[in-house]
Amino acid sequence: MATIITDLKNNFRRGNVHIRLIYINAAVFLVVALTGIVLRLFNLSSASLVQWFEMPASLPNFVVQPWAILTYMFLHADFLHVLFNMLWLFWFGDLFLRFFSARHLRGLYLLGGICGGLLYMLAYNVFPYFRPVADYSFLLGASASVLAIVAATAYREPNYPINLLLIGTIRLKYLALIVIGMDVLFITSDNAGGHIAHLGGALAGLWFAASLGKGRDLTRWINLALGWVAGLFRPRKPKMKVHKANADRQKDYDYNARKKAQSDEIDRILDKLKKSGYESLTTEEKKSLFDASKR
């Protein structure tokens, strides 16, 4: 068991950012599932507990749990839900990294999830069709984040060929249009909230790719915030201090060196005085000899 955990840790450290995100989503899914099993053994429900980390459609509920805008994108309803989202993240995360950086992927995953969650909440509070169910509707899943990565890659390389089983080769822009079009068509289905969030994530991906092409990185503030949070948990290196004893020792060394140089210079002048007389001395040598006689 210890070896398995060690291997997982090493794979997580060595993996690219999309692999790490897959590990995090899988770990969260396992923790939630195991917690649900334990609670069920005691005839307790885990739904109310998990709900605190899901994205609420109701604005008053969101005010009570604002952290849900981040936590909901790491939760999944069941095994197939997390499986398909992670497969898409694996395929398109790898493709995304061919054209963008790891920091961009990390930031866009969060940006897509945030935009998807906000559009979901906005739609449920604006459109009369959704208002009756807004108070008890919640969103979970990484779909909005994944669709942001897909849309950004499609915008950057629209003609990139994608091989699909039973369909064949299709250009990436058409695949993205099909996925986004299906979300629009099913916006009033039983999973309306999920489709709305997908559209929010896709719009975030397009916005990011278009802005980056103009020299503006929309994920910069997210990466700066993540760096700041990581810095809080990073062990600080002790500052190097120069001890006073070392400083004093250096001062004594410099003083002694200067004294020896002055003494050697006076000895040289005196030897010259004995051999050639006072008149042979230069002005500087006479001054040095005069100053030495006064000490």
pLDDT in tens, the chain (295 residues): 667 777 777 777 777 899 999 999 999 999 999 999 999 999 998 888 999 999 999 999 999 999 999 999 999 999 999 999 999 999 999 999 999 999 999 999 999 999 999 999 999 999 999 999 999 999 999 999 999 999 999 999 999 999 888 788 999 999 999 999 999 999 999 899 999 999 999 999 999 999 999 999 999 999 999 999 988 887 776 665 555 555 566 666 677 777 777 777 777 777 776 667 666 767 777 677 667 665 5
Q: Does the predicted model carry a pTM greater than 0.85?
A: no
Top CATH class, 2-233: mainly alpha
Residue ranges per domain, the chain? Answer: 2-233, 245-294
- Do the strands 55-56 and 138-139 form a parallel or antiparallel pair, or are they unpaired? antiparallel
Cα separation, 295 vs 292, whole angstroms: 5
Buried-exposed string 99-131: b where 16+ CB fall within 10 A, e elsewhere: ebeebbbbbbbbbbbbbbbbbbbebbeeeeebe
Q: Which whole-number Å values give the CA distances from 188 to 124, 128, 129, 195, 241, in the listed order?
A: 11, 12, 9, 9, 66
Cβ-based burial of 92 (10 A; exposed 0-12, middle 13-18, buried ≥19): buried
Query: Where would I find the beta strands (DSSP E) of 117-254?
Result: 138-139, 161-164, 168-171
